[in-house]
Amino acid sequence: MPAQNRRSEKSRRAIYAAALALVGEVGYPRTTVEGIAARAGVGKQTIYRWWNSKADVLLEAFLDLTDGPEPPALPDTGDIAADLKAVLRATVDELTDPAFEIPARALTAEGVVNEEVGRIFVTRLLQPSLQLYVDRLRTAQEAGQIRPETDPRIALELFVSPLAQRWLQHTAPFSHEYTDTLVDYALHGLAPR
């Protein structure tokens, strides 16, 4: 992929907007490089000069939408419950914002049936965010707030996985109250004995 500074910023923004809009409107399978190019007002050769596939375009657009490749660190106020609740409440707000939810849902769904998209989605988007939870849970362990034998990577699944399932499958209300309860339940089982 060419250096970012060789791209036209105006074209790049138009391509990102077109890709995110199309995937929300017609889904991942029916989104094409040709469709993205037409909506963005660029030639498809422009897209192929900068990206190898529609997956690359969509993932980069989504990374840009989520403020870049490096997610911000989780807060560390010394109160693991308050920190997790704050982050998960912000996650609910983000996942219910149509600008974020529509492409996130489309890419997540495609990642379930398309192994390559799923692998890229997990590696570039999900894994860096999950690592932040692991890091924060480790500092809570060091502070004696979580049992020392707890595996932080498994522990984060106690609140992240139910949240993702509820969002993906619309199984029940998706709210701040729900995230707070997840944290309380998870930490009660993780607290030092």
**Distance separating alpha carbons of residues 167 and 23, to the nearest angstrom:** 18
Q: What is the mean pLDDT of the chain?
A: 89
pLDDT score for 70: 66
> What is the domain partition of the chain in residue ranges?
4-65, 80-190
Residues of the chain scoring pLDDT < 70: 1-7, 67-71, 189-193
Report the CATH number of the 4-65 domain: 1.10.10.60
Q: Which residue from 68, 67, 70 is spatially nearest to 129, judged by alpha carbons? A: 70
SS3 percent helix, strand, coil of the chain, rounded to 5, is 75, 0, 25
* Tens-digit pLDDT profile for residues 20-62: 999 988 988 899 999 999 999 999 999 999 998 888 898 889 8
DSSP symbol at 125: I
Report the CATH number of the 80-190 domain: 1.10.357.10
pLDDT score for 41: 96
Query: Per this entry, what is the length of the chain?
Result: 193
pLDDT score for 99: 85
